[in-house]
Amino acid sequence: MSADIWILVGVAAVGVAAVVGALVVAVRRRGSEPFAPEVATPVRERELVSVAVPAEGPTEETPPGPPVDDTPTQIEVREVARVVEVSPEQAGVTRRQFFNRALGATFATFLTGFGLASLSFLWPKLTGGFGSDVNAGKVDELLKKTVNDDGTITPVYLPEAKAYVVPAPDPLPAIYEGKNVVAGGVFALYQRCTHLGCRVPWCGASQGFECPCHGSKYSVIGEYFTGPAPRSLDRFVVELNDAGELIIKTGQIVQTPRLDRLNVPYPQGPSCIDI
Ligand code: FES
């Protein structure tokens, strides 16, 4: 898998871990709240009760001695308040629950937005562009454009694929056989230097690619010649469609090591960089 795919998988894994973590925290917080189903919630309730009160009217003077229970009384209806306990379902959502849920919803919204933004940034465009299959056009015309009248080479640069199309040697060196990196007699070389990733420009004078950052040099077919680059230029898997057009699979990169012997001569003239 390419580095982008690994990054994508990593972001997805982090997103899933974050969501699981948020759920675990939410469940724990809910379990520690004092509003668990088995714990009742005190509320005030008002009701009318009948009470016996002393009857109104002239009162006789109470004789000395222990109180007697023959005092005249009357029934009176009064409103009283009392505290009763109800279940959380009866009590409704508490303020703490409301804020906990709002916090969780905000966190989930943020994670979702972040995840979608990351995916849209990393996911290859379905309609073309780097990371997808790029149609470079008729391979015969591409091949013609790469060969000058004097026999020198000028690669065709395709910005959408970040690739140089160059002619492949005939016969094809054994190291490239069976790797699907040649179609219609051309390679598609990745423009990125294998040292630290600078874009490597073409040098017509030397007939090779020369990196201006630290001086790595490669032949016309991207084979390593000199400099700090650890390997030759990377190349893309290519194929021809039924119309004879070159399809560059920019999501599939094939690496080529340094070689003991170049398969095409380099340099063929003065260098374009002074490193
Ligand atoms: S990035 Fe090309 S030589 Fe260092």
Asked if the model's pLDDT at residue 81 lies above 50, the reply is yes
Confidence of residue 27 (pLDDT cuts 50, 70, 90): low
Confidence of residue 52 (pLDDT cuts 50, 70, 90): confident
**3 state SS of 209:** strand
102 and 150 fall within a common domain: no
Measured CA to CA, the distance from residue 65 to residue 79 in angstroms comes to 35
Q: Would you say residue 103 lies in a domain?
A: yes
Q: Whose CA is nearest to atom 1 of ligand 1?
A: 196
User: Is 42 part of a structural domain of the chain?
Assistant: no
Same domain, 144 and 99: no
Indicate whether 184 pLDDT > 50.
Answer: yes
- For residue 198, the ligand 1 atom closest to its alpha carbon is 1
Sheet of 224-226, strands arranged across: 202-203, 208-210, 217-219, 224-226
For ligand 1, atom 3, the nearest C-alpha belongs to 214
Say how far apart CA 128 and CA 28 lie, in whole Å: 46
As a whole number of angstroms, the distance between CA 88 and CA 246 comes to 68
Query: Does position 34 have pLDDT exceeding 70, yes or no?
Result: no
Answer yes or no: is 51 within a domain: no
pLDDT of 198: 98
- The Cα 233–Cα 120 span in angstroms is 28
> How many residues belong to the chain?
275
Q: Which long-range contacts (CB under 8 A, 24 or more apart) does 206-209 make?
A: 206/266, 206/267, 206/268, 206/269, 206/270, 206/271, 206/272, 207/152, 207/153, 207/265, 207/266, 207/267, 207/268, 207/269, 208/266, 208/267, 208/268, 209/164, 209/233
pTM for the structure as a whole:
0.60
What separation in Å is there between the alpha carbon of 195 and the centre of ligand 1? 5
On whether residue 148 sits in a domain, the answer given is yes
Of the residues 122, 141, 164, the one at which a domain ends:
122
Mean pLDDT of 77-103: 74
Choose which residue among 189, 199, 202, 211 to substitute to test ligand 1 binding: the one with the highest number of ligand atoms within 8 A of its C-beta.
211
Q: What is the mean pLDDT of residues 221-248?
A: 98
- Asked if residue 116 and residue 144 are part of one domain, the reply reads no
Q: Is the dihedral of CA 74, 80, 84, 90 positive or negative?
A: positive
How many whole angstroms separate alpha carbon 238 and alpha carbon 156?
15
Residue 212 CA to ligand 1 centre (angstroms): 7
Centre of ligand 1 from the C-alpha of residue 258, in Å: 15
Q: From CA 14, how far away is CA 10, in angstroms rounded?
A: 6
State whether 235 and 150 are in the same domain: yes
Q: Are residues 180 and 209 in the same domain?
A: yes
Query: Are both 114 and 185 inside the same structural domain?
Result: no
**Residue 48's pLDDT band (cuts 50, 70, 90):** confident
Please, which residues bridge with residue 188 across strands?
A: 165
What's the confidence (pLDDT) of residue 35? 46
CATH of the domain at 195: 2.102.10.10
The answer to the question of residue 106 being in a domain is yes
Q: Is the pLDDT of residue 29 over 80?
A: no
Query: For 163, phi and psi rounded to 5 degrees?
Result: -135, 150
Q: Please write the tens of the pLDDT for every residue from 2-15.
A: 555 565 566 666 66
The whole-number pLDDT of residue 215 equals 97
Q: Could you tell me the pLDDT band of residue 257, with boundaries at 50, 70 and 90?
A: very high
- pLDDT for the residue numbered 36: 47
Query: Has residue 177 been placed in a domain?
Result: yes
Q: Rounded distance, CA 8 to CA 124, Å?
A: 10
Tell me if 263 is assigned to some domain.
no
Span of 101-110, 202-211, 256-265 with lowest mean pLDDT: 101-110
Helix 3-32 to helix 95-122 angle, to the nearest 10 degrees?
Answer: 180
- Domain containing 18 equals 3-34+89-122
Per-residue pLDDT at 272: 97
Protein residues with CB under 6 Å of any ligand 1 atom: 193, 195-196, 198, 211, 213-216, 227-229
> From the CA of 248, how far away is ligand 1's center (Å)?
24
**Strands (E) located in 22-155:** 41-54, 73-86, 133-138
- Cα of 19 vs centre of ligand 1, distance in Å, is 40
Q: What's the average model confidence in pLDDT over 169-176? A: 96
Domain shared by 231 and 205, yes or no: yes
CB 209 within 8 A of CB 200: yes
- Taking residue 199's Cβ as centre, other Cβ atoms within 10 Å add up to 13
Would 73 be classed as within a structural domain? no
- pLDDT attached to residue 275: 79
Chain segment 135-145, per-residue pLDDT in tens: 999 999 999 99
**Of 199, 203, 210, 216, best ligand 1 pocket probe by most atoms within 8 Å of the beta carbon:** 216
Report the share of the chain in percent with pLDDT over 90.
Answer: 52
Distance in Å, CA 200 to ligand 1 centroid: 8
The whole-angstrom separation of Cα 211 and Cα 110 is 42
Tell me: do 249 and 139 sit in the same domain: yes
Question: Is 158's pLDDT higher than 80?
Answer: yes
- Are 225 and 139 contained in the same domain? yes
- Mean of the per-residue pLDDT values of the chain: 83
User: Which of 187, 271, 251, 268 has its CA nearest to residue 5?
Assistant: 251
Within this chain, do residues 195 and 220 fall inside the same structural domain, yes or no? yes
The rounded Å distance from CA 13 to ligand 1 centre is 32
Cα–Cα distance for residue pair 103/7, rounded to 1 Å: 29
Of all atoms in ligand 1, which is nearest to the CA of residue 197? 1
Of 101, 122, 143, at which residue does a domain stop?
122
Asked whether residue 102 falls in the same domain as residue 152, the answer is no
If asked whether residues 111 and 21 sit together in one domain, one would say yes
Domain total of the chain: 2
pLDDT, residue 253, reads: 98
